[in-house]
Structure 1
């Protein structure tokens, strides 16, 4: 493994740093946005619930290139968001880090929401009802009830989101292209190395992603097993 890192080029390290930055930002944003959404989906009886669930799950069935294409149309210079930003004196979001961050958040949304939904459903509303009768406010309920009881769900959601972002390719390539230091993440750089027939470098980076993916899945399955044991007890 030490030899692997020793042979990485500055371009490789730049892509690694950019990828980790994208993974971290995506995970934090989705935990902030996905938690209230998952809570509402797990407890709501609204007629809109099914439609919202379908929208959240769309990235699981849509080809990444399709999602990336529509985001490119939306965030590009001729799209509703991109053209509005340019009229306000800003740059459009296509082929930028902000653009691929938005794409990453949309594409990884179900990997945050689904584990949180499952965790909230297992907890149920009863613990919060008890906490409310004891005078706990909403913030107290969040930190003293929800976070401790659903800790495993949050860890799994964060881990899956980080890992899924690590291997994103289609959405990022469509929306961001391959701009070094801006949108050239590891998956895109591996493609570039392969296209240039630089197989040795592509293999090194691919091996790193393979090991990372295995570690993440090992953690997730281990946490799931522990959560199942705690639920039985």
Structure 2
């Protein structure tokens, strides 16, 4: 049955998920460290904005990204004229949309793990004269490694299964924006059920393995 499908959407999906997860790791670590260090209106507002994609329909976010970065808008037009960067109906746009929509899936497990770190452990490192970046990388993150692992898995898996943002911002361009979820939808519309079954089965198996990995992480943590 595998020879009935085009492998390119699967490869493009893996590429998108890998890039998105790497970018999210770079962004989430300092962001979560800042959020976990205290309370305040600014931190609360940022945390709410980050969590917005959890309840916002993907098509709504994709629509506003499409409007914002369209060549007809001032920002999209400026990016295309100045940097030759086109984010609408392009792979770069998929990466941007995936980063924004998968951000809470990386941030929430990591932030929860950082907040569970004993305060006296961090204070002890400070009394030894360690600087904050050293404390983050040598004390805080190793103690919260289960949150890093869980956030990485969730962000990667969520990017693999994303449909609404990808469809609105990237469309269905072969070898550029046609990821596995879009290919599945296309094959179903074309009544090519063997190919649709193959794409769906791959996504189901992948989702099962992700949940199994998360369960093992939670058990080891407990």
Pairwise TM-score range, normalised by the shorter structure? over 0.9
Cα distance in 2 for partners of 1:124, 1:181 equals 48
Q: Equivalent residue for 2:140? A: 146
Deviation for aligned residue 1:40: 1.8
Deviation for aligned residue 1:17: 0.9
1:186-206 Cα deviation digits (max 9, x unpaired): 000000000111011000110
Q: Equivalent residue for 1:156? A: 150
Among 192, 195, 205, the alignment partner of 2:199 is: 205
Cα distance in 1 for partners of 2:75, 2:176 equals 20
2:103 counterpart of 1:103: no
Q: Equivalent residue for 2:159? A: 165
Note closer, same or farther for the CA distance 1:128–1:90 as it changes in structure 2 (3 Å cut): same
2:42 counterpart of 1:48: yes
TM-score, normalisation: structure 2:
0.95
Q: Equivalent residue for 1:78? A: 72
2:125 counterpart of 1:131: yes
Contact 1:68 1:171 in 2 (8 A): yes
Among 214, 217, 220, the alignment partner of 2:211 is: 217
Cα distance in 2 for partners of 1:185, 1:196 equals 16
Deviation for aligned residue 1:209: 0.4
1:143-185 Cα deviation digits (max 9, x unpaired): 3212221111100000000000010000000000000111000
Q: Equivalent residue for 2:22? A: 28
What is the aligned-residue RMSD (CA, Å)?
A: 1.4
2:81 counterpart of 1:87: yes
Cα distance in 2 for partners of 1:103, 1:57 equals 15
TM-score, normalisation: structure 1:
0.91
User: Which blocks of at least 5 consecutive residues in structure 1 are unaligned?
Assistant: 229-233
Deviation for aligned residue 1:92: 2.4
* Matched positions, count: 222
Q: Equivalent residue for 1:13? A: 7
Q: Equivalent residue for 2:186? A: 192
- 2:41 aligned counterpart, secondary structure: coil
Among 55, 58, 67, the alignment partner of 2:52 is: 58
Note closer, same or farther for the CA distance 1:91–1:29 as it changes in structure 2 (3 Å cut): closer
Contact 1:39 1:116 in 2 (8 A): no
